[in-house]
Amino acid sequence: MALPEKRIFRGIPYVTGAASATLLAADLELSFWGGVDPRTGEIIDRFHPLNGRFLKDTILAIPGGRGSCGGSVIMMELILNGLGPKALIFERREEIITLGVMVAEEFFDKTAAVVTLTPEDFRDTLGWDGKTVHIRGELVSDAPLKADSANGSAKHAVDHNKIDVQLTDADRAVLDGASGKAAMISLKIIIRMAQMMGAQELMDVSQAHVDGAWYGPGSIAFGQRLRDWDGKFQVPTTINALNVDQKCWRVIGINADFGSACDELAKAFVDMGGKISFTCAPYLLENAPRLGDPIAWGESNAVIYANSVLGARTLKNPNMFEALIALTGRAPKAGVYVDENRFASIWFRVTPPDGADDSFWPILGYALGAIATTHIPVITGLEHLKPSNDDFKAFSAAFATSSSAPMFHMVNLTPEAPTVEAVCANSMVPKAIDVDSKDLYAIWDEFNHGSEPREIDLVSLGNPHFSCREIKEVARLCQGKTKKDDVSVIVTCGRSQYGLASQAGYVGELEKFGIQFLQDTCWCSIEEPVIPKNTRTIMTNSGKYIHYGPGLTGRQFAFGSLEMCVDAACTGKTTGDPPSWLRGVRST
């Protein structure tokens, strides 16, 4: 009997290495942050077909990442914990996860091979799921490869004379160590990423928003090494939400070792010149960028909002990469920094329902993001709705969760889209995809597990961080009502918006109602004891948290509008019925 022929595919090795392991494969993007537990290596995204599987000592094949920019840190932590895959195979260039591997390699001398195949070859590898797969350099095979068949696993080095990216004399001086070790290592990784992105040169940025959250021991080592290597941010830099409220974490019972570690990491970023903002909604700050400003932001919802709603320009930077850019002031001139990469390649023609409330925007954002995947969409049909900044915030967060696209356009609503043609290359409009109430009902049903009634123990508000205007709206909805004693309600927000809401009296009103406010942190980082141990079901109005929350907390979830959340706080339950604008609609 003839043996099956060995198949070998040749790809692009963005991190060179060699590995042989069982293939774990799925034809669906995965967010490592919120989708993989760095402490166990388990895939915890309940929406993903690999949910419940473990990454340790596998070769993972997925089309690419999606969702949170924090996936880079999770990848780094997995490598350092010895719980990650030995190698990764992607269908397309994957910047977020690959950056995590590069940082692990450059900072800690640990790595994993990363290879991108053509779509056709990637599809063929999916059929190898559960079988032993072999990688060496650019080659991927279902049979062992000779050691000399490709480059080995030597650590990547930057050779000034072989860099495809044009460097200035100042850049070369930084690589030679003239600005210190932190800047040198930072620029080395920036150049590796620039080569990966196909950038021909680097460019200056005007500001940055960096992540200072703790994801594990690697996170704090990363921040402290940069600080101890005399790293200083070269542009005005704000800091994203932390894991704890710095002012009260001891009072509310956070473990002392964990709280202190979070404080130490935040201090490292402050020591490097970071501004104490501690918010995942930097577009609410006074220094928010303007149309055309080149910036370097992390935090997926903020990136989408900045590019789309403000018309600023930032890559969907993997966490840690935005800090490296801030330390040098230099970024790859690629992606949506460049005019032609901001064009839409997919058109959504939305038929909005009558009487839509605030729950419409996260549901729509999640639905469109899931269809768009990597494509920048142009969206029509919403012109008459006049969404508020908070509506855009909710849409951006949900869109960022279900897609990996860096932005969207809404005709007559976002600054670069006066018409459909204006945001399409050569005014060539793609074929329209119609989206109506049935599509949105399907997302509602997915969010609520079949829309069944539930007892509610905790109401979660503020993912992304609440604005003063949203706090005001909660105060209005709570007037004349009484919160049920055994239901907790927690709002997370940044210090600036909390200060405005406090001055206006809204915080005092809501604290009398029984609502707890947390600053600095947000729901992506909140665990017990802030979430009471006996909590079984959490209700939220966030399209982002309804996706990540079940995996992060192990609790059941329900989704609803802000008014539905307040009603649940008062009654202790949700009926499971959809909002009025979806009633009578059923998914196909």
Question: What's the CA angle centered on 100, arms 377 and 19, to 5 degrees?
Answer: 110
| Calpha distance 406→374 (Å, rounded) | 8
| Calpha distance 588→166 (Å, rounded) | 52
| Calpha distance 569→80 (Å, rounded) | 42
- Number of neighbours of residue 47 by Cβ within 10 angstroms: 17
What would you report as the CA-atom Rg of the chain, rounded to the nearest whole angstrom?
Answer: 23
| Calpha distance 530→526 (Å, rounded) | 7
| Calpha distance 210→284 (Å, rounded) | 15
Residue from 68, 300, 402, 460 carrying the catalytic annotation? 68
The backbone torsions φ and ψ at residue 466, rounded to the nearest 5 degrees and listed phi first, read -65, 145
With 0-12 / 13-18 / 19 or more C-beta atoms within 10 angstroms meaning exposed / middle / buried, residue 52 is: exposed
Instruction: Please write down the HEC assignment for all residues of 545-585.
Output: HHHHHHHHHCCEEEECCHHHHHHHHHHCEECCCCCHHHCCC
Decide: 587 and 438 in contact? Cβ < 8 Å.
yes
| Calpha distance 274→252 (Å, rounded) | 26
Cis peptide bond prior to 119, omega within 30° of 0 = no
31 is catalytic: no
Q: Identify the H or E element spanning 518.
A: strand 515-519
Decide: 131 and 22 in contact? Cβ < 8 Å.
yes
- Residue 534 DSSP SS3: coil
| Calpha distance 232→247 (Å, rounded) | 26
Residues that are catalytic: 68
